[in-house]
A and B are shown apart, each in its own frame.
Chain A
Amino acid sequence: MIKVDDLSYTYPSGDNPTLHGLSFAIPEGEVFGFLGPSGSGKSTAQKLITGQIQPPADTVELLGRDFTAWGRELYNDIGVCFELPSFFLKLTGRENLDYFASLYPRLRSDRAEVIKLLGLEDALDQPVAEYSKGMMTRLGLIRALQHQPRLLFLDEPTSGLDPASSARVQDLIRRERSRGVTIFLTTHDMLTADALCDRLAFLIHGAISCVGSPRTLKQENGKDQVKVVYESDDGAEELLVDLKGLGQDARFQDVLRRRSILSIHSQEATLSEVFIRQTGVALE
């Protein structure tokens, strides 16, 4: 659905390239996460893939055709949710949604349900200028979804949301994936990326440092061990046991039988630790 081949870009006003030879492919129905710190080139990459900046020929392929061969009909199948508010601020939420819906040949039948799911039905007649950042993020998501796109570009879709709203947005994104929508997710939020993405690419200084599924990346960069924390006379003690042969490990068996267990955790790395290990840079 999305194929990027050796995509490099230098801004007209810049001396150094912002992106260096990005290459990846995203099959239909996959949630692909693009992770990187501010200034790593995530937004530039998304702008090039969506056409906000014209990509060079033969570097970006969408829905089976080179980007430069598409006309405006391409956008019938694309939904974009911006990180920054991008609405007619003096118009109400309903007027914004109606206007943008009028530009597309399709309208999803369950749009009202999506609006209710994201909790905006009571705010639709309010001017968008009066919305909070979280409300604008949710409105942006509804706008991106209301014409049933096959490709969805989400830039920080949980930014500014409270935990409950964030969970609802994540549910909605999972629902879209289950309907076969291909999702390109740009974020620096490791928890969101871990929860939603089938695969991730780490972007640093305009280049991809590694690509893989969150589970694989965490396993490859972690330890194959389990840490058991149990009560002892001194308070709490830890026991590290190899995952291999865990069931036969005498110390592990003994702790399970005789001690009061406080916690058991596998020692796979977190995505943040993987990112630091792979790129040498921490995400804020």
Chain B
Amino acid sequence: MSSLGLQAPRSGFGGLALDLTRDFRTVWRNGFFVAVLVITALHIGTLLWVGDFLRPWMVSMVLIEVFTFNGFFLAGVLMLLEKGENSLAALSLSPLPAGRWLRSRCLLLTFLAWLECLAVCAFLWPAGLTASLLSAAITTPLLALLGIAFTSRYRGFSEFLMPSVAVFMVLMLPLLRLAGFSQHWVFWLHPLTPGVVLLEYGDPTGVPAVTALALTLGVVWILLAYRLALTVSQHVLAWR
């Protein structure tokens, strides 16, 4: 510590912890936690009015929607915020590797999704807690990485909004499985299907083979999305 209380340089895991602290403060002080809290409370409130017959199905849909908001949209908005305040340019001219920035963002947003899972499941679906936590773990980082890759070309929220809605529609396609429209194998090619399937079965221990397949596929999709986000960071954000 210097005489002004400034910290000494850190790297490795300590560095990632500092990245997370910075991200957490940014999210907290920009009011995103409050926004998430309000949205979660609204969802819980609405679902409490739904009948028992529809509730399990709707809870799964709401959780996927929540993961998408937390992952895809929040990652995009945070990035636009950093672009707007120019802090992203400052980071890209520091020794910080783009990968560490991406990992921190994914961890924070997944943590946020887990908090929402806890809240939703506590009120509406206690038996589905494990499935929803696992689903959040493979879905939120994937969506966050896709959100970063997608948003990197936009400079402002107004530019990003309309195209992002179109992407949102495509991302939601696996929900058709939940609605019973189709169980076709083609859905397994969609990156969100593993997360949806985990919610669909509800109890991961009851279907170990399906759970293992979904988790493996989910991790593969995360690695692919990580590669994509890294490439985009290098080429679009000039983060070598």
Q: Give the B-binding residues of A (Cβ under 8 A).
A: 50-54, 71-73, 75-76, 78, 80, 82, 84-91, 94-95, 97-107, 111-112, 115, 121, 124, 127, 143, 147
Contact = CB atoms under 8 A, between A and B. Distances in A.
20 contacts: A50-B93, A54-B238, A75-B95, A82-B86, A86-B89, A87-B85, A90-B29, A91-B29, A95-B22, A99-B22, A102-B18, A103-B9, A104-B94, A106-B9, A107-B8, A107-B9, A111-B6, A112-B2, A112-B6, A124-B4
A71 B96 CA distance: 11
B5 interface: yes
Interface in B103-124: none
Contacts of A107: 2, 6, 8-9
Contacts of A143: 90
B158 interface: no
B94 A111 contact: no
Contacts of A85: 85-86
Interface residues of B, number: 32
Given A94-B4, A94-B6, 6 more contacts: A51-B240, A80-B93, A90-B30, A102-B9, A104-B9, A112-B2
Interface of B: 2-11, 14-15, 18, 22, 25-26, 29-30, 82, 85-87, 89-90, 92-97, 238, 240
Nearest to A97: B6
- 9 A-B pairs closest in CB distance: A86-B86, A90-B29, A86-B90, A112-B4, A102-B10, A75-B95, A112-B3, A98-B7, A103-B94
A80 B94 CA distance: 9
B35 to A, nearest CB: 15
Contacts of B14: 102
* Residue of B6, B8, B86, B238 with most partner-chain A CB within 10 A: B6
B26 A82 contact: no
A87 B87 contact: yes
Nearest to B5: A94
Contacts of A147: 9
B86 A102 contact: no
A100 B15 CA distance: 11
A75 B94 contact: yes
Nearest to B234: A54
Contact of A78 (B5, B10, B93, B238): B93
